Structure 1
């Protein structure tokens, strides 16, 4: 199959010449490109799927700064070496921006089908199976543990411990997100009081000890691949790793709990996750806090870019999220 001589695959990547992709293939020794396509989802249009004479690969270009690639590479390596859940490895980076005007990376394409596509075509029983499989996949991801909560430092290309205690650090992160909301004029005085009330009520739950683990922070079907089994699905890969940090693994539960649609799906997700061990005491309180912090990120993005939430208050939008987080583990 011949490739178009030049094509705009996405607004972010711009027009790409076939000869440029041929140069990438030669640079990384991945054979001759025979087909190129864009994935069905993805928020920023940075990904191309490549089929070559040697196999299938993923090209990530025009990153949000070069650290975007180096951090994803470090996270992918941690998952590859210390988790049963596959991540694309090797994750190889070109530091030379001459070819496109930005740096880029090549990695093997993960097996299976994106969970977003499977979810869209699944019947209710299959969606419960996907939710349960996602829970098992998350437990596999959280096999990557560390002595302390930590963040990625590009200067050393690794995760470095946070010097403050976990509760203080979590409150600092929450305050940073609230500041972003205020800058977008997205929090009313009523919303501020509502947030303060949730924090005051649930904060003791953060003091329960935990083993720090790799937190994906955007864990949902759209960032997972699955392969079908005789009775259900098996998680076969995780991607979009840039938001990761090391903290309380229960932080990763909350996005999936509001992404899925029914109590049965939420219960299946929690059951899949806890097959490897129970949640800690006070989980319902912590999940309310983690759901609050997560929803503030979504709220700030939606309001700042005038995409969502124009006709609803923060309390109205977050109320169902809060209830789902507690009910899922009650």
Structure 2
């Protein structure tokens, strides 16, 4: 399932215009006028298409059986459970005879990516702060979709399937898996493992307390978000598009805070990371003040998970540009503490 896939790529390869026209014909989407690869398309799986009927995104050559079916489920359900714009309708064509693989075509959503340097340069500091808080409000809305048990969507069973054991079994098991995977590419000492186990032990009460699982996007980051200012005369920043749900599951929504907060810090904007985290925390506290007591601990564990993945990937690829000489536990603790400290500013 998606929660166990992190590294992999199925490129679309060369796609002929005639084949694309056939694909459009299958879904009654008009005459092909133009197409190109997306600038930062997910793992090379997407094309931008313009036809006589409008602008679309094609996503194909799935990474695993059921990827597109799973994403279609989340798009359709989020359209029902939230007001957040998602690429609906998500038109799925499962037959592989036209393009050599199954594909989905969805509407191209409007707006700008925050990673675009030209767009970034047009924003004032107030704009940036409002956008950071708007991201927090978006996540809070996503996380209000609750389910009885933590788990993931199974496209074969066509239903949400609970994780084996409970949520902590899955979370800790996954973290341990990737920590031991990193041993193939770097030095992970017994002291590192003991330190990680100690974090598990200390965090367990926080995850046991009022654990009501909700939707977790799993990849909430600039690349998967489009934004617009709907009223240029005043504060009107809104999400205009949210997409790529191939790592979505049901668990603790705090996990979705890690990528954007860390991105802000890495880009020298810790004040925006603080704004994002504090806005989300305050929203959670307003809904459940008792739950807020454990916010920091939960966030620390998800940050640890993220850093284990980063450490293993960086060491495996040799692209280490940070803390190359520090032991894992020391580097991870310093990195996590620098994020958590933003909550106190």
In 2, Cα distance between equivalents of 1:165 and 1:13: 37
Distance in 2 separating the partners of 1:48 and 1:186 = 40
Q: Gaps (5+ residues) in structure 1?
A: 1-9
Q: In the TM superposition, what are the counterparts of 1:172-321 in structure 2 within 5 Å? A: 172-185=173-186, 187-228=188-229, 229=231, 230-231=234-235, 233-261=237-265, 262-274=269-281, 276-278=283-285, 280-308=292-320, 311-313=324-326, 314-315=328-329, 317-321=331-335
How much does 1:127 deviate? Answer: 2.6
TM-score normalized by the length of structure 1: 0.88
CA-CA distance at 1:46 after TM superposition? 1.1
Structure 2: how far apart are the matches of 1:124 and 1:160? 43
1:215 Cα deviation (Å)? 0.4
Give 1:7's aligned residue. Answer: none
Say if 1:258 and 1:151 are closer, same or farther in 2 by CA, change over 3 A. Answer: same
1:266-288 Cα shifts (integer Å, max 9, x gaps) = 23213443464316222111111
Q: Contact 2:49/2:56 (CA < 8 Å) preserved in 1?
A: yes
Matches within 5 A, 1:144-159: 144-159=145-160
**Secondary structure, in 3 states, of the residue corresponding to 2:227?**
strand
Give the 5 Å matches for 1:92-131.
Answer: 92-117=91-116, 120-121=120-121, 122-131=123-132
1:2-57 Cα distance to aligned partner (Å, 9 max, x none):
xxxxxxxx992211111011111111111112221222223511111111111111
State the Cα deviation string for residues 81-137 of structure 1 (Å, max 9, x = none). 111212111112221122222211111112222232266434544332221121111
For 2:40 and 2:191, the matched residues in 1 are separated by 36
SS in 2 for 1:113: coil
- State whether residues 150 and 160 of structure 1, in contact with CA within 8 Å, keep that contact through their aligned partners in structure 2: yes
Q: 1:127 to 1:56 in 2, by over 3 A?
A: same
The reply to whether residue 329 of structure 1 matches residue 333 of structure 2 is no
Mapped contact 1:215–1:246 kept (Cα < 8 A): yes
Q: How far is 1:304 from its partner?
A: 2.7
Distance 1:274 1:194, change over 3 A: closer
> Partners of 1:84 and 1:277 in 2: how far apart?
19
C-alpha displacement of 1:190:
4.1
1:147, distance to aligned residue in structure 2 (A): 1.4
What SS class does the counterpart of residue 329 from structure 1 fall into? helix
Structure 2 partner of 1:14? 13
SS of the equivalent of 1:145 reads coil
What secondary structure does 1:235 align onto?
Answer: strand
> Do 2:49 and 2:55's aligned partners in 1 also have CA atoms closer than 8 Å?
yes
Stretches of structure 2 that go unaligned for 5 or more consecutive residues are 1-8, 286-290
1:206-228 deviation digits (Å, cap 9, x = unpaired): 22113211101111222111111
For this pair of structures, how many residues does the alignment match? 321
Moved more, 274-283 or 144-153: 274-283
Q: Distance in 2 between matches of 1:97 and 1:317?
A: 46
SS at match of 1:51: strand
Measured after TM superposition, the shift of residue 317 of structure 1 is 4.2
Deviations 1:204-263 (A, max 9, x none): 322211321110111122211111143252112211110110001112112222111333
Alignment check: 8 A CA contact 2:112 2:226 kept = yes
Q: CA 1:120–1:321 in structure 2 vs 1: closer, same or farther (change >3 Å)? A: farther
